[in-house]
Amino acid sequence: MRQVHLVQHAEKELLPGDPGLTLIGVKQAERVADHLVGLSIGAIYSSPLQRALETSEIIGERLGLVVLVDGRLAEKVNWDGTVSYEEFVEEWDRAVKDRDYQPFGAYSSHQNAERVLEFVGAVAVDDHDVVAVTHGGAMVDVLRTLVGDDDIPRDLLRQGPAPTAITTLNGQYVVAMSVPPPWE
């Protein structure tokens, strides 16, 4: 079984809907692509959301791979602007506290982790490592499922992973968690 490197998308524009990357985010994606070059990556997948697609396209170009889109890598819920940002954050916080709560009728934390882990199981059988660009909530939900809430830093639960943080999985095991060098 090969490793799956879950990558948090790079910094996004702070807008509702489906925003793309900031200029800093583009640099972050370039930096994480350089970080991944030495690994035996044979495929790259992305969430269908713009910020993840842009991040994965930059990585894919550097690795010489075509990006494949998989909806199981999408975030559990996306702020679309139909409610205030404050209301969205309240719903998000409730979903963090209650892993079965479905914010705005979307996916719960448990459901979200199940979707991502289903993806991991499907692609981890290949003969090469895989990069999967996803979202902070998805990564945290997977970690909560695999290692438990007691072993997740409280800051990670509240703030999510840093842009382009990488969580490496070997099947259902967390092999490593890393953040590429600081951005300039």
Could you report the per-residue pLDDT of 75-112, keeping only the tens digit for each? 999 999 999 999 999 999 999 999 999 999 999 999 99
Counting residues of the chain whose pLDDT is more than 90, the rounded percentage is 85
CA 63 to chain centre: 19
Residue 77 lies in a domain: yes
Counting residues of the chain whose pLDDT is more than 70, the rounded percentage is 96
Residue 41 lies in a domain: yes
Residue 145 lies in a domain: yes
Note down the domain range covering 170: 4-178
What are 178's strand-pairing partners? 166
- Alpha-carbon distance 19 to 123, whole Å? 27
Could you report the per-residue pLDDT of 37-60, keeping only the tens digit for each? 989 999 999 999 999 999 999 999
- Alpha-carbon distance 168 to 179, whole Å? 11
Which two structure tokens, joined as six digits, stand for 69? 């889109």
Residue 130 lies in a domain: yes
* pLDDT value of residue 158: 81
* pLDDT value of residue 181: 61
Query: pTM score > 0.85 for this model?
Result: yes
Neighbours of 152 (CB within 10 A): 14
End-to-end CA distance of the chain: give it in Å, rounded: 36
Question: At residue 31, what is the residue type?
Answer: R
Could you report the per-residue pLDDT of 119-169, keeping only the tens digit for each? 999 998 878 999 999 999 999 999 999 999 999 888 888 888 999 999 999
CA 178 to chain centre: 13
Per DSSP, the chain holds a count of helices (H) and strands (E) of 6, 6
Residue 184 lies in a domain: no
* Torsion on CA atoms 141, 36, 50, 147, rounded to nearest 10: 0
Residue 183 lies in a domain: no
Residue found under tokens 């999408």: 74
Averaged pLDDT for residues 5-9: 97
Residue 67 lies in a domain: yes
Backbone angles phi, psi at 134, to 5 degrees: -135, -150
Query: How many structural domains is the chain composed of?
Result: 1
* pLDDT value of residue 127: 83
What does the mean pLDDT of the chain come to?
93
Q: State the CATH number of the domain containing residue 8.
A: 3.40.50.1240
